[in-house]
Structures are given as structure tokens and as C-alpha cells.
Amino acid sequence: MSENITVAGVSVDTRHWIGGRRVASTSTFTDHSPIDGSALGEIARGGPAEAEAAVAAARDAFPGWAATSRAERARILHAIADGVEKRIEELAIVETTDNGALLRSHRRGVMPRVAHNFRFFADWLLGLGHEDFDTRGHTNHVSWDPAGPCVLITPWNAPLMLATWKVAPALAAGDTVVLKPAEWSPLTASLLADIAAEAGLPAGVLNVVQGYGSEIGDALTSHPDVRRISFTGSVPTARRIAGSAAANLTPLSLELGGKSPLLVFADADLDLAVDLAVEQYDNAGQVCLAATRLLVEEPVAEEFTRRFVEKATALRQGDPREESTDIGPNIHPRQLEKIDGFVRRALAQGARAVIGGHRNEGQYYAPTLLTDVAQDAEIVQEEVFGPVLTLQTFTGEDEAVRLANDTRFGLAATVATGDRERAERVTARLVAGTVWVNCFFVRDLQAPFGGSRQSGVGREGGTWSFDFYCDLKNTVTAPKGWNQDHG
């Protein structure tokens, strides 16, 4: 297989990165760009042998990295952040070409945040204090010991960003890593391996294996030497991973799907509420947090819909590399088929498409708003992961909360209201890992992120990420028993 491909002028190594070396596989898979369906190149197709080699490399590198001083680990993490910052343009264009999300948001938002993830956890590590408790003169000393090799598995909708939410805290904690990016967007993980190596990360501390989850996944997640598994992706895959991890009771962090609501109360600033609703088409609706269920209070539903349609139909769909584009393509023909299937079944069940409801040319789906949907309908209950929103109306807070909470998910919720007391009452009753009031998508890295119910297990961010990647230890020391000479 050819070792390097050139994507938008950037050279990307398509092999695995294991133990500080590039490693080919006997077979490959083809990576396509969702922008025009063109083949970008052949990527190494890993299986159990590559999983074994990568975990062995992570295991061998672990004692050295775990023993590296915090200051040195933090220095290397900052050097990785420097490397990301130097290559923002390259990372942005490769990611856009590979997964179809907007170039302008990769450039200005996502890639700077990738660098920030490394800086944040480097600083976290340096600021990590210690906790000591005293029990009848005995000192209880709490320490954060590195856990060991970690398997990190990520999806395609925000590939590098989501990978670094896991890689950065794991490396900061002193763990070693095997990263398995999604097969539909494998490229930036390979660039991250280059950047980490240039930053001086020792061989084997970060390993990247490519391939289909169905072929390499089980070998990674059932491996007895793996001490943590962190997964972001769909619920069915999470079930499979949890089953595989059960063999060794390997601790899991799961960031999964959602079917989040946007509650618009009659007292809300309606223009703001409409902006929040239209924002849910970002990344062509391929955002786990997207508030795809619009719940609008009856008296303002008609006016809300009118303003929404005006704004949504003005969105420009097209090439994500163009500065003026608002909505890019969907990731893969199979994903497009899935989206269309959901919409066709909803329409057959009596839903009405206020806008959209069909494919556009190429790998694009028309921004869609469906009304006349029942609460128990598939389109209201299941994650579509495309630019498809539903609109239901409600009367009063009780009904709003009942509809909002009535799915098996609990990832996020957004509330638009002009009444602060109402906001407090409603947010307290919502089942969701993140609730936004009159805003969307903002989060400090120190705050927890994750889902309730089937949207996930555990939380990422700040202390929650860090603790997950550590074995917490309490060392209790008696006041007496010391050799006199040494006091």
C-alpha cells in the first residue's frame, strides 16, 4: 500500500502508528470525502494483530511515562498544543475534506479548542494538589496514580476534537493510549500522531490504529492489559463494547447519542429562540447534543414557525470549504440513506414536512422540519443524526417537562424563556447532562459533560476526565512505628 496520501495539499500517513513506528496492514479500506464522494486514499485496515501490537506498545511504554514527572508531562502536552496551533490550517482542511464539517468552524473554533484541550489538562496536572485527612493521628494521603494503557474510540462527527477530550487527560494522568478513530474520518488522528512525536512524546505512549470497529474493536476492548476504555459513539456500539469490557471488568466511559429538546416558552425572546433552533442544523445535524425536538408553547407556535422557516430557508447549503456555506454534506451515503429512511417513515405515518423532507443532489440532505408527529413516533424517539428537526406544541410547564423528558436519552436540553424563575423551575426538572438557558453549545472545560440514561455513563471534563484515567489511592500512615534514628 502507498504510505502517504496528499489531501488538500497536506501529506497524511495512512498507516497505523504503533510503538513510535509506522506500521502497515496487509489490507486497506478506502476513505472517501463526503464533499464529492471522491476517494481520498487507502487506509491501513487493522484487526486483532494490530490491536495486540498497539496494546503491547502501550503496556511497554506505561512504566516510563507513568514515572515521568508532572512538569515534564505538562511540558510535552504544551508542546503538542504548540504543534496543533502551528498546523491549524492543515488540520482544518484535512478534517473538512475528510468529514465534511465547515472549514470556517474548524479553523476558528474546533482546532484552536483542540490545542486548548492539551493546555487545559497540562495546567490541570500542574495544579493538582493533594488531599490529606487526619484520623486519630493517622494521615490519609490521597494520590492520583496513573491507571495504565487506555483504549480510546471515537466517532466521525468531530473526529480530532472528541479524540483530544480523551487523549489529553489520559496522557496528563500518566496513562498510555491506543486511539481508534472512526473509519469514515481516519485522517487527523494520523496527523496528531506526527504532532505528538515531534513534541517529544516517547514512543508507545500514544498509538493510533485504523480500521473498522467491527474488525479491530473487540480485540481492543476485551484485552486484559487495557485499564480504561473511553468511547464516544452510538448506543448499539456502546452495548457491544460494554459486553466485551465485561470480561475484565474494565472501567468504561461512554458518551453516546441524544434526542435533546429545545423548550420555547411564550415569554421567550422569539428571535433568540429561532436562532437557537436554526443552530441545530450545524454540522448538517450530526451533533450529539443537537436539540432536534423543538417544543414550542402553543400561543407562539405559529409565529415561531413562521420566523423559523424564514431563517432556515435562507441557510446556504454547499461546499463546506466555502466561507459562505452554512450546511455541508452528510458524512456517508449510508448515513444519508438512514436519514432519509427516518423521514420517509415519519411522512408515511402522517408527519408533515414544513420544510425539506428530501435529499438534495450529492451527499446533501435538505434541512427538514416535521410537524404533526406523535410523542411515541420513531422520529420523536430515535436519534436521526442529520438535519431533521421535529416541532411539537405544549401548554404550560408540566407538559413541556413531560414531553422533554419522555425519551430514553438524557444528553442535553435547551430552554428559551424570559422568566428567570421559570428557568430555575424547569431546568431542575429536566433529565439531561447539560442544560442551556437562552444559549447553546457553550461549555467551560472544567464543567462536566456527558449524558444521563442511555446517553452515557460517566462524565468528561475537568476533574471527571482526570479521575477516570487515574487509580485513586488512599495511603494511611500511623503516627508511630518509626525507626527512632529517622524520626
The site for ligand NAD (CB under 6 A) is made up of 153-157, 162, 180, 182-183, 213-214, 217-218, 221, 232-234, 237, 240-241, 255-258, 288, 383, 385, 411, 451, 456
Catalytic (active site) residue 460: no
Closest approach of ligand NAD to the CB of residue 450, in Å: 7
Catalytic (active site) residue 439: no
Q: Look at residues 117, 151, 398 and name the one whose alpha carbon lies nearest to residue 265.
A: 398
Kindly tell me which of 334 and 425 has the beta carbon lying closer to ligand NAD.
334
Closest approach of ligand NAD to the CB of residue 212, in Å: 6
Kindly tell me which of 138 and 443 has the beta carbon lying closer to ligand NAD.
443
Closest approach of ligand NAD to the CB of residue 55, in Å: 13
| Three-state DSSP class for residue 473 | strand
| DSSP category for residue 268 | S
Active-site residue, selected from the candidate residues 255, 297, 383, 460: 255
Kindly tell me which of 125 and 178 has the beta carbon lying closer to ligand NAD.
178
Q: Look at residues 80, 97, 243, 48 and name the one whose alpha carbon lies nearest to residue 169.
A: 80
Kindly tell me which of 191 and 266 has the beta carbon lying closer to ligand NAD.
191
Active-site residue, selected from the candidate residues 95, 288, 383, 470: 288
Helix (H) or strand (E) holding 391: strand 388-394
CA–CA distance, 167 with 172 (Å, rounded to integer): 8
| DSSP category for residue 199 | T
DSSP states of 68-127 as a string? S-HHHHHHHHHHHHHHHHHTHHHHHHHHHHHH---HHHIIIIIHHHHHHHHHHHHHHHHH
Closest approach of ligand NAD to the CB of residue 288, in Å: 3
CA–CA distance, 25 with 216 (Å, rounded to integer): 12
Closest approach of ligand NAD to the CB of residue 340, in Å: 16
Count of helices and strands (H, E) across the chain: 16, 22
Kindly tell me which of 230 and 368 has the beta carbon lying closer to ligand NAD.
230
Kindly tell me which of 219 and 270 has the beta carbon lying closer to ligand NAD.
219
Q: Look at residues 211, 178, 184, 152 and name the one whose alpha carbon lies nearest to residue 61.
A: 178
Closest approach of ligand NAD to the CB of residue 234, in Å: 3
* Antiparallel, parallel or unpaired: β 21-23 and 28-32: unpaired
Asked if 456 and 411 count as a contact pair (C-beta separation under 8 A), the reply is yes
Sign of the dihedral defined by the CA atoms of residues 252, 253, 258, 263, in that order = positive
Q: How many residues does the chain have?
A: 487
| Catalytically annotated residues | 255, 288
